[in-house]
Chain A
């Protein structure tokens, strides 16, 4: 009975984090973007600096009518937001927050593979949405999503493989146990490749060609309203949390820190994740959108060779120190 309670408690915590963390990132984005652009951002909802803006947004979304276009493929259209959102929930359960088995939702032996595999499923949601909407802009958005995923998954996998080689394990907790500070300069190229490719998979600016508003309205999500649209937005921000947490765990040492790694390890993980999330927002404000051919070119001519070079470097160093 105690085991069941333990599992239930862990899943409940993961679920709460899954609901709260994306909202925090969203609110931060509102405020950070505003201040970077010389605005104030939301100031009224909730009283103190508009902290309840996203709660109010949620209430607004829930009240809206849920419209399904007449020509749409009804079931696929309605299923797509769930397919886009749920993988991130599964991924969040295996990301270790602190040292030991106590600070992770569920230890998975092949953690990296699990995370990357399940994250890849989320894109199916965008594809389903783009096709089922019976709208040519949506279809174009879906196509761009697929093209982007196909080209950026390879460098992402290669960069992750480099860390796995360095640690000699594909388990996320195992990688953190093996981490040492000099991994940071050693794996820095892999980290950059992983983070950039992850941004592209999330379709965040400057890789937001699939939802380019000036060309194809809002890509695959054009026809969505109300709660289903909110679910897609939630998936995007959950994706940011997952990507930043993963980069932290794989490349930045997770709960390792200059001091206090025993008791305050989880704080280091959260701090690094928050810092990376800030960078994601910063990039959105400061970089113009890449064109479709530039997107493909960046993946195939820059990221893939860099990732391969990182793997070669990892192998050489690994053999040298053995």
Chain B
């Protein structure tokens, strides 16, 4: 990661202001990024399960703000809608359905944490390398008109990137069908024992409709 920084700075000394005379937006971007990173670190280190999910809200919301600062307004709102509004709610729902004790849960830890850290660092390095390599010479004019407005995003998505978009749709559809099939199979195998899940704190689970939520 470190060795990619000097070329970035070098290319910035051309006709662009560079990182050494940051504008207000850039400073805000950096500060929000630090807050997001902090929230993300707390998410994976806290011993309280539900707190982890709530810190995830902060981290994902911080990401949305970063998108906003990069003028990608549409992506920012979709980030809030999908991740904060749906994924985290689904996560919280799952937690409450199974086990969501108030306070620390010392057993909520895994021996794989170092492996997980390694994988996380490797994927982060790969992502940073790819993004820096792809966009090194691309600069966004933050003061001009929004370059990530809905119209621009839509045109890009459905003119230049329509094949990956459709491939992703098919992948998601396959996952959806798979989830339905899996939940159906389980229901026929174990005809009883549904809706009696009792957490370690003695909290009863709901008698709701499992399987319905997996469709999302």
Contacts and interface: CB of A to CB of B under 8 A. Distances in A.
B51 interface: yes
Contacts of B216: 150, 154
Contacts of B209: 147, 292-293, 296
Contacts, number: 117
Given A131-B100, A143-B206, A170-B150, A150 B93 contact: yes
Contacts of A169: 150
Interface in A98-157: 108-110, 113-114, 116-118, 120-121, 123-124, 127-128, 130-132, 134, 136, 139-140, 142-144, 146-147, 149-151, 153-154, 157
A150 B102 contact: no
Contacts of B102: 71-73, 131-132, 134
Interface stretch (B18-26, B74-82, B177-185): B74-82
Given A109-B146, A114-B77, A140-B206, 7 more contacts: A109-B149, A110-B77, A121-B85, A124-B88, A128-B54, A130-B96, A143-B208
B204 A147 contact: no
Nearest to A120: B85
B54 to A, nearest CB: 7
A63 B77 CA distance: 39
Interface of B: 48, 50-51, 54, 57, 73-74, 77-78, 80-81, 84-86, 88-90, 92-93, 96-97, 100, 102-103, 146, 149-150, 203-209, 212-213, 215-216
A15 interface: no
Interface residues of A, number: 43
Contact of B213 (A72, A131, A150): A150
Nearest to A304: B215
Contacts of A147: 93, 206, 208-209, 212-213
Contacts of A44: none
Interface string A230-257: 0000000000000000000000000000
Nearest to B77: A113
Contacts of A154: 216
Contact of A131 (B50, B74, B84, B150): B50
A121 B84 contact: yes
Contact of B96 (A139, A153, A171): A139
A117 B54 contact: no
Contacts of A113: 74, 77-78, 81, 150
A300 interface: yes
Given A121-B80, A131-B50, A146 B96 contact: yes
Nearest to B100: A131
Contacts of A192: none
Contacts of A131: 50, 92, 96, 100, 102
A24 interface: no
A76 B78 contact: no
Nearest to A168: B151
Contact of A124 (B89, B100, B149): B89
20 contacts: A73-B102, A76-B51, A109-B74, A109-B146, A110-B77, A110-B149, A113-B74, A121-B85, A127-B89, A131-B96, A134-B102, A136-B203, A136-B204, A143-B206, A146-B93, A147-B208, A154-B216, A296-B209, A296-B212, A300-B215
